[in-house]
Amino acid sequence: MERRLDGEACTFCCYGCCIAFQVKSGRHEEWEAAWLLIQLGVGGFLSMNIMMFSLLLYSDAFTGVDAGVLPWIHFLLWIFATPAVVLLGGPYLREMWLNGMQGRVTSSALIVLGVAAAYLYSAFAVFEGSTHVYFDTAVMVLMLFTVGRYLEAVGRARAARDLEPLLAAESESATVVDGAAEIRGPVREVSAGMLVRVRPGERIPVDGVVVEGESNTDEAVITGESRQVTKGAGSKVIAGSINIDGPLLIQSSADGTATRWARICRSVREALGRRSPTQRLADRVVGVSVPLVLALGGLTIVYWAQSLPFDRALLIGLSVLVVACPCAVGLAAPMATSLGIGRLARHGCLVRDPGVLETLARVRLLAFDKTGTLTAGKARLVGVYGEEVGFDQVLARAAGLERLSEHGLAQAITAAAAQRDITPLVTSDVRTVPGRGIRGSAEGRPVAAGNGRLMNDLGWPLPPSLAERARSLEASGHSVVYVGWGERVHAVLSLDDSPLPEAQAAIAALRKRGLDATLLTGDLAQAAERIAALVGIKDVQAGLSPEAKRLALDRLRHDHVSVAMVGDGLNDGPVLAAADIGIAVGSATDLARETAGLVLPADGFWMLPWIVDVARAVRRTILANLMWAFGYNLVALTFAAFGLLQPILAAAVMAGSSILVVVNSLRLERLPDPVPALMPAQRSDINVERTHNVSGISAMAGPAVGHDLATRGPLDP
């Protein structure tokens, strides 16, 4: 149904949601929200009076009541019932009318027709002087449905509670500093380059760089991990993180609408707006069942009217209409899905499509990309091999050249030198040779670092022992850089990408949950197998082009029911899209990846087992809800059709059924938070080890590396 609120057209799935939105929402006039509660309250007052009179009529106190008084009591009931039916039934009538105009028959039609039949029959009876009226049924059915829907809507609001801080913050304002003036305005009006003041406790409104001030920030909503990060002048800050304890002046690096934060919000909103396959199926079932129920109600009346008085037959028909209202079916999937999406979003995991959770719960195989997914995606220097040269000599020359390059391998070499306090040699005439390496001169002699082709081009001989070493290193999947000076090659550097410290534990945890893992990579087979062995994956397919990866995935999908592809998204677009679910991990800059259905935060790999748990819990909840809702409808419908269920009881159980679905879904809130597969202490040890990776190489890279930097012996002059 559509309503205009604050001049804006808002669409609601039902009357109950509209109530909850207005009662909960701070956007609207206070009295407007109150008006809806007034409707419920006044409706309650009228219906309770009707119930009291009706109870008295039903009870022994009025048995044998004076026949002259009875019509007056009936008239009084009509007086109370008429405004109650108008007040409480109006929204359902409007809903039925609007849907009817679009050619749809929805559950509101069941309520309206049932209530209208009971009310009109009773009103006719009052003026005809008949002995039976059913105003209590008409009004209490409406009242129970309205209260039930209100409670459902409050449940939905609770389901969205996890998302509230996320989505509410999108509309927050920012303080823009313009000279001496500070102007507070909507975030969307902030453009790149503007200065923005963020006070302690505020959410940072835009991505940017700190210009002034120092403070701790909490980036949990972006990174998924709640820890304080100190930011000072020159530090980058991310929109959506919380400024904890100091004022900051930041220069915006993006428009307010283009921040990562805004993209997250949009993506979550879109996901909530879509319908999952189960929801769509439930919608279709409801669409078909409503006309069928209407027909069944009509048939029931006709059948019973042959053996019972018409009013009793009408009442049985009314029970059929009321009890068949598929409110709980409509709620079963969305409630659980919203709770799951909210739960994941609170830990920085973004679901881009509500169907993802249901599919993930069915997945039996996870295919992983290697670089950037199972590994950090950054090369590390893991070995230096030389002939008659010193370790420091080699690194000083290599770093002297490489510090001027942006290449990934160059950065790894420079970082290794810096960590060991080796001063890069001053080099001049530095020139990058594309596809080969870099060269220049130091201490008056030519110096070069690069691949074998560069050394060939230069005509520098390669000692046989180094050539042999380089071959074996390449065969085991390492990257090799030759370093030479004085017109000959003196050393070989081996570089490698090592697995994420948490990958092994995460994959073991997934295996425990019955999920197989496979590695699909474009890298060399040896490198892929080494990483796979370290993280505990047996099945490896290496040397695959993006197209070959997609074909490999198709084959896997053929063998398994559902396959999820986990990739860092940089070059995995096609394969992420081709999988049943694409899961993008790694680089936070890829949050808005179009092809992945689920986006994990930068350090979120370890959360995979927990996400699978959440997805399975959501699926279990949806199935339980649907089984309950359909089962209830079927059983209750049978009872009603046989005349064994009073309409008021039918309405009460119907409302109760919806509330049960809500309560069952809210159990998802009690799911435990994700726990790192590795204990925090272990994680921090490994981080330290990675930071100082020079001394931790042998442990990480395994025995394939002969001489590591920690055992400098063979290289000492």
Partner 1 sequence: MFYYLVIFAAGFAGSFHCIGMCGGFACALGRDQRGGGATLLRHLLYNTGRLTTYCFLGGLAGAVGQVICTTQGVAAAPLFNGSLDIAQRILAIVAGLLMIAMALQFFGLLQVFHRLAIGFGGSTFALSLRSLVTARSSAAPLAFGVFNGFLPCPLVYAFAAQAASTAGALPGFLVMAWFGLGTFPAMLMMGGVGRILGPAGRRRGVRLAGGFILFLGLITLGRGLLPSHAHIGLAWLGGHST
* Candidate residues 11, 13, 52, 675; the one interacting with partner 1 per rule CB under 8 A: 52
* Candidate residues 8, 30, 128, 421; the one interacting with partner 1 per rule CB under 8 A: 30
CA distances from 486 to 458, 483, 686 (A): 11, 11, 39
Residue among 617, 545, 381, 619 at smallest CA distance from 478: 381
Distance of CA 288 to the CA centre of its chain: 31
**Distance from C-alpha of 654 to C-alpha of 652, rounded to nearest angstrom:** 5
* Candidate residues 3, 49, 515, 534; the one interacting with partner 1 per rule CB under 8 A: 49
DSSP letter, residue 702: -
* Nearest residue (CB) to partner 1, 48 versus 286: 48
Residue among 371, 265, 367, 260 at smallest CA distance from 608: 367
Region near partner 1 per CB under 8 A, out of 25-33, 173-181, 307-315, 382-390: 25-33
Quote the least distance from Cβ 42 to partner 1, whole Å. Answer: 5
**Distance from C-alpha of 509 to C-alpha of 514, rounded to nearest angstrom:** 9
Cα angle 164, 170, 173; round to 5:
120
Q: Indicate whether 37 belongs to the interface with partner 1 (CB under 8 A).
A: yes
Q: Indicate whether 675 belongs to the interface with partner 1 (CB under 8 A).
A: no
* Nearest residue (CB) to partner 1, 55 versus 634: 55
Quote the least distance from Cβ 48 to partner 1, whole Å. Answer: 4
* Nearest residue (CB) to partner 1, 41 versus 277: 41
* Nearest residue (CB) to partner 1, 140 versus 365: 140
* Nearest residue (CB) to partner 1, 382 versus 636: 636
Q: What is the three-state SS of 120-139?
A: HHHHHHHHHCCCCCCHHHHH
Residue 266 neighbours by CB under 8 Å, 6+ apart: none
* Candidate residues 33, 238, 575, 697; the one interacting with partner 1 per rule CB under 8 A: 33
* Nearest residue (CB) to partner 1, 35 versus 127: 35
Quote the least distance from Cβ 566 to partner 1, whole Å. Answer: 41
Q: Is 490 exposed, middle or buried (0-12, 13-18, 19+ CB in 10 A)?
A: buried
Q: Give all strands of the β-sheet with 539-541 in edge-to-edge order.
A: 350-351, 598-599, 581-584, 563-567, 365-368, 516-520, 539-541
Region near partner 1 per CB under 8 A, out of 42-50, 387-395, 400-408, 467-475: 42-50
- Residue 678 identity (one-letter amino acid): L
* Nearest residue (CB) to partner 1, 48 versus 285: 48
Say if residues 641 and 379 touch (Cβ distance below 8 Å): no
Q: Which member of 255, 353, 369, 580 is catalytic?
A: 369
Region near partner 1 per CB under 8 A, out of 35-43, 106-114, 132-140, 453-461: 35-43
* Nearest residue (CB) to partner 1, 318 versus 382: 318
Q: Indicate whether 642 belongs to the interface with partner 1 (CB under 8 A).
A: no
* Candidate residues 5, 10, 51, 577; the one interacting with partner 1 per rule CB under 8 A: 51
**Distance from C-alpha of 405 to C-alpha of 398, rounded to nearest angstrom:** 11
Say if residues 358 and 276 touch (Cβ distance below 8 Å): yes
* Candidate residues 5, 44, 94, 457; the one interacting with partner 1 per rule CB under 8 A: 44
CA distances from 13 to 27, 94, 107, 425, 519 (A): 19, 13, 12, 70, 43
* Candidate residues 61, 302, 475, 710; the one interacting with partner 1 per rule CB under 8 A: 61
* Candidate residues 9, 59, 101, 435; the one interacting with partner 1 per rule CB under 8 A: 59
Quote the least distance from Cβ 44 to partner 1, whole Å. Answer: 5
Q: At what angle do helices 277-305 and 608-641 cross, to 10 degrees?
A: 10
Q: Count of residues for the chain? A: 717
Quote the least distance from Cβ 646 to partner 1, whole Å. Answer: 9
Quote the least distance from Cβ 658 to partner 1, whole Å. Answer: 17
**Distance from C-alpha of 703 to C-alpha of 417, rounded to nearest angstrom:** 23
Say if residues 458 and 362 touch (Cβ distance below 8 Å): no
* Nearest residue (CB) to partner 1, 20 versus 138: 20
* Nearest residue (CB) to partner 1, 44 versus 573: 44
Number of residues interacting with partner 1: please give it, by CB under 8 A.
27
Q: Indicate whether 56 belongs to the interface with partner 1 (CB under 8 A).
A: yes
* Candidate residues 4, 8, 9, 60; the one interacting with partner 1 per rule CB under 8 A: 60
Region near partner 1 per CB under 8 A, out of 56-64, 180-188, 302-310, 460-468: 56-64
The partner residues of 539 in beta bridges, in order of sequence, read 518
Quote the least distance from Cβ 328 to partner 1, whole Å. Answer: 21
Mask of contacts with partner 1, 99-138, x by CB under 8 A? ----------------------------------------
* Phi, psi dihedral angles at 579 (to 5 degrees): -70, 165
Binders in 482-511 for partner 1, by CB under 8 A: none
Binders in 137-196 for partner 1, by CB under 8 A: 154
- Catalytic residue list contains 497: no
* Candidate residues 5, 42, 76, 704; the one interacting with partner 1 per rule CB under 8 A: 42
Region near partner 1 per CB under 8 A, out of 51-59, 266-274, 418-426, 658-666: 51-59
Q: Give all strands of the β-sheet with 479-485 in edge-to-edge order.
A: 375-386, 488-499, 479-485, 445-450, 437-442, 427-433
Half-sphere exposure in the Cβ direction for 375 (13 Å, CA): 24
Quote the least distance from Cβ 24 to partner 1, whole Å. Answer: 9
Residue among 493, 459, 544, 292 at smallest CA distance from 389: 493
Binders in 5-24 for partner 1, by CB under 8 A: 23
Say if residues 73 and 57 touch (Cβ distance below 8 Å): yes
Quote the least distance from Cβ 154 to partner 1, whole Å. Answer: 8
Q: Indicate whether 653 belongs to the interface with partner 1 (CB under 8 A).
A: no
Residue among 362, 293, 287 at smallest CA distance from 329: 287
Quote the least distance from Cβ 95 to partner 1, whole Å. Answer: 22
- Look at the block and give the residue holding tokens 């009318």: 97
Helix %, strand %, coil % of the chain (to 5): 55, 15, 25
* Candidate residues 45, 72, 75, 97; the one interacting with partner 1 per rule CB under 8 A: 45
Binders in 62-91 for partner 1, by CB under 8 A: 62-63
DSSP three-state, residue 63: coil
* Nearest residue (CB) to partner 1, 44 versus 463: 44
Region near partner 1 per CB under 8 A, out of 46-54, 255-263, 298-306, 548-556: 46-54
DSSP letter, residue 568: -
* Nearest residue (CB) to partner 1, 17 versus 509: 17
Positions marked catalytic: 369
Provide the binding-site residues for partner 1, judged by CB under 8 A: 23, 30-31, 33-35, 37-42, 44-45, 48-49, 51-52, 55-56, 58-63, 154
